[in-house]
Amino acid sequence: MADYANAGVVIETVPPSEMGAAIAADAAKKAKFGTIHLLIRGFLCTPFLAYGACVVFAMVAAGIPLAVAGLVFPAGYVTLSFLGLEMATGSFATMPIGMYAGTITPLQLIRNWAWTLGGNLIGGIFFGWLLWFSLTKGGAVPPDGMLKVIAQTAEAKVTYIHYGVIGWCAAIGKGVLCNWLVSLGSVMSKATRSTVGRVVLMWIPIGMFFALGFEHTVVNMWLFPTAILSGANVSIYEWWVWNQIPVTIGNILGAMVLNGTLWYFTHTLQKD
């Protein structure tokens, strides 16, 4: 942080080259986490994303447009970020930067992704069941408005099946568009040393993603279980083959190629 004492001004902005170094250092720390800790941090992560999304779906059920309600969603992401939890979609950008910088190995990258995704999935299924069980009294009462919106959203998320291979590729494309933005939450959090500044910089790309309706693999890990339990016309096969798998591929490409490779590459050549 540059301190201009004579002018009495403290500059809190961190240049991109220093951001890359900080992210590479974070990747090295993540590589040292034990398997149980990756699972626990991944497990605890997904429910906070779900909490933010549930607020959005409750607002939509009350008649508020998704483009407006979606701007509330980043509250969940900010919470999990400050709690030091692990979201795979962020690691899709940070771990490649660590690999390019030499702070981690390719094997450590794969290990982090695999266990974090596993923890995210377990946390998503658990939260989805707990939410459905609590709101329907174990299925004794019909799903409320919010659960109906979640079910409708899940049904819309598997309509790629109607377009065959092109639809499957479109799901990848929406995954790329999503995580090009979402993984910036991890990247842009390094652009300032101010707590308020970090919140604002993370909020911007995360809010845009949800308001635009792109596809996020970790969000879908709780949304589909909740929707299926709530009576959505979606099979487990449709969930995985026509959404979860292509969306995960797209999320990896969006974060790793566009942020973890191209953004990092240009700022290692041209120092700010």
pLDDT tens for 189-225 read 999 989 999 999 999 999 888 888 899 999 999 999 9
Q: Residue 6: which pLDDT band, with cuts at 50, 70 and 90?
A: very low
Nearest to 99 by CA among 39, 38, 41, 26: 26
Residue 271, classed as helix, strand or coil, is coil
Answer whether 154's CB lies under 8 Å from 224's CB. yes
What is the residue-wise DSSP string for 78-107? Answer: HHHHHTT---HHHHHHHHHHHHHHTSS-HH
With tokens 């407006």, the residue in question is: 68
The per-residue pLDDT for 240 is 98
pLDDT digit string (tens) for 138-189? 999 999 999 999 999 999 999 999 999 999 999 999 999 999 999 999 999 9
CATH code given to domain 13-265: 1.20.1080.10
Residue 77, classed as helix, strand or coil, is helix
Q: Are strands 9-10 and 3-4 parallel, antiparallel or unpaired?
A: antiparallel
Q: What are the boundaries of each domain within the chain?
A: 13-265
Q: Which residues contact 269 (CB under 8 A, 6 or more apart)?
A: none
DSSP 240: I
Q: How far is CA 128 from CA 45, 142, 226, in A?
A: 13, 16, 4
Tell me the backbone φ, ψ of residue 235, rounded to 5 degrees. -95, 165
Nearest to 219 by CA among 263, 258, 175, 253: 175
